[in-house]
Amino acid sequence: MALQALYACEVAGTPVDRAAREAADDRNAEGADMEYYHQLMPAVWNRREMLDGWVIRAVDNWTPERVSVIERNILRVGAHEILYEPATPLNVIINEAIEVAKRFGSEQSGRFVNGVLDRVAALIRDADAAPYRQWGE
């Protein structure tokens, strides 16, 4: 759902609150953790420049525009969870992002997302990320 809403914000220019509401109203939302979704989706959207900054630091010669909207937003969600969900194990965050990338991205998306988020996680751990969460905000 978050990916669907982020896509609507980025591609169609849908306001974040409307995109979040419309994605949550989708019949495929049944069984989702709505409380988490309603926290995650606007947080990722509002922090997208800072999250892109972590990805840019992790990948040489990369800009957000060089990948698909789907991959870009999967990377943003993964980077956000790495930074702001310390109770969630890294392998869970990265594996979930890989599965979403395989389902909604290209044939190579899963491998790409895996490599990038692994590097983002290493950067965050190496930098003791807490003081750097504000990059780009």
Residue-wise pLDDT for 1-28, tens only, equals: 899 999 999 999 999 999 988 988 876 6
> How much is the average pLDDT of 42-61?
91
How many angstroms separate the CA atoms of 53 and 132, rounded? 10
**Same domain for 33 and 64?**
no
**Same domain for 2 and 66?**
no
**Same domain for 111 and 90?**
yes
At residue 44 the predicted structure's pLDDT band, cuts being 50, 70 and 90, is very high
**Same domain for 89 and 112?**
yes
**Same domain for 72 and 28?**
no
**Same domain for 65 and 33?**
no
- Predicted pLDDT of residue 59: 86
**Same domain for 70 and 122?**
yes
**Same domain for 96 and 135?**
yes
**Same domain for 15 and 35?**
yes
How many angstroms separate the CA atoms of 8 and 132, rounded? 28
> How much is the average pLDDT of 79-108?
93
- What CATH number is given to the structural domain containing 63? 1.10.940.10
**Same domain for 91 and 109?**
yes
**Same domain for 37 and 75?**
no
How many angstroms separate the CA atoms of 9 and 52, rounded? 16
- Predicted pLDDT of residue 111: 95
- Mean pLDDT (the chain) is 87
**Same domain for 18 and 65?**
no
Burial (CB < 10 A; 0-12, 13-18, 19+), residue 98, is buried
What is the tally of structural domains in the chain?
A: 2
- Predicted pLDDT of residue 134: 47
Q: Which domain holds residue 35?
A: 1-43
